[in-house]
Amino acid sequence: MPIIAGINYKDSGGSGQPIICLHGIGGNDSSFAAQYAELGSDFRVIAWNMSGYNGSTTLLDVTFENLSNSLIAFMNALDISSAHIIGQSIGGMLAQEIAILHPHRVRSLILIATSAAFGGRDNSFKTRFLATRLAPLDAGKTMPELAEEFVPEITGSNTSQQVLKEAVAAMSAVPEATYRQIIKCLVTFNRRDDQHLLTMPVCLIAGEMDQNAPPTSMQKMSEHIPHSQFHIVEKAGHLVNSEASDIVNAIIRNFLLDQG
């Protein structure tokens, strides 16, 4: 895969409108394999690897603002003035950040299994979350061992063994230092009071069985976004775009076609 502006990425090479896909903490460009395989015939689907992932340059200071700047530099290097942005989990948070800071660069947003802010309004949940997520690594567990335990816990009841295998492989490949950086960045996200600034068309997709980004929370998000639509995918979990790719791809395609 090519590297440009410090970003390693997968490009479907399509000639249509550009779509940029932003993966979650345990993912990489392969998290959107089903999207660039199916949508690449009509759109130029690009799946990036976030800072520190799969050969992308590691940022010295991993913040949502700096990740946004990294994506804008990436778009500039590819001569993409604006794009449809798909973000899953923390990728959906980053998609919101970019849309708020650089609205003219975003044609539309597709937010998958994500939220408007991390945790509650006090810091106790964030502290417990960090301790829970990092304790296994502090105790000497490896990323592959963590992936084997974690991935089955966040997926739905109908997830195929192939999807599980691919998700475990993606998370296993995340460098431990990168995982620690991104987890610490994750808990800082808060755009709860800024949802009205997402003035472009927005499509929200939730997995019915997702406990990390519950459908009830995503539905509440949609109620604060001016031009939005909301979808629940039955029996899917946090990796909904991989677990139920046919359904999610149909939702995405219909949404994008509505944009013209």
For residues 56 and 7, the answer to whether their CB atoms sit within 8 Å is yes
Distance from chain centroid for Cα 236: 16
Which pLDDT belongs to residue 48? 97
Tokens of 196: 């009205």
Prediction pTM value = 0.96
Which pLDDT belongs to residue 124? 77
Q: Which of 76, 109, 89, 65 is nearest to 6 (CA)?
A: 76
Read off φ and ψ for residue 130, nearest 5 degrees: -60, -45
pLDDT by residue, tens only, the chain of 260 residues: 689 999 999 999 878 999 999 999 999 999 999 999 899 889 999 999 999 999 999 999 999 999 999 999 999 999 999 999 999 999 999 999 999 999 999 999 999 999 999 976 667 778 888 888 899 999 999 999 999 999 999 999 889 999 999 999 999 999 999 999 999 999 999 999 999 999 999 999 999 999 999 999 999 999 999 999 999 999 999 999 999 999 999 999 999 998 76
Residue 41 CA to residue 30 CA, distance in Å, equals: 18
Calculate the alpha carbon distances from 239 to 137, 146, 243 in Å: 23, 17, 6
| Integer Rg of the chain from CA | 17
Structural domains of the chain, with CATH: 3-259 (3.40.50.1820)
Bridge partner residues of 117 (DSSP): 190
Calculate the alpha carbon distances from 170 to 27, 41, 99, 156 in Å: 5, 25, 27, 18
Which pLDDT belongs to residue 120? 67
Q: Which of 57, 24, 26, 29 is nearest to 45 (CA)?
A: 29
For residues 24 and 91, the answer to whether their CB atoms sit within 8 Å is yes
- Side-chain half-sphere of 77: how many Cα atoms within 13 Å? 14
Which pLDDT belongs to residue 144? 97
Which pLDDT belongs to residue 70? 97
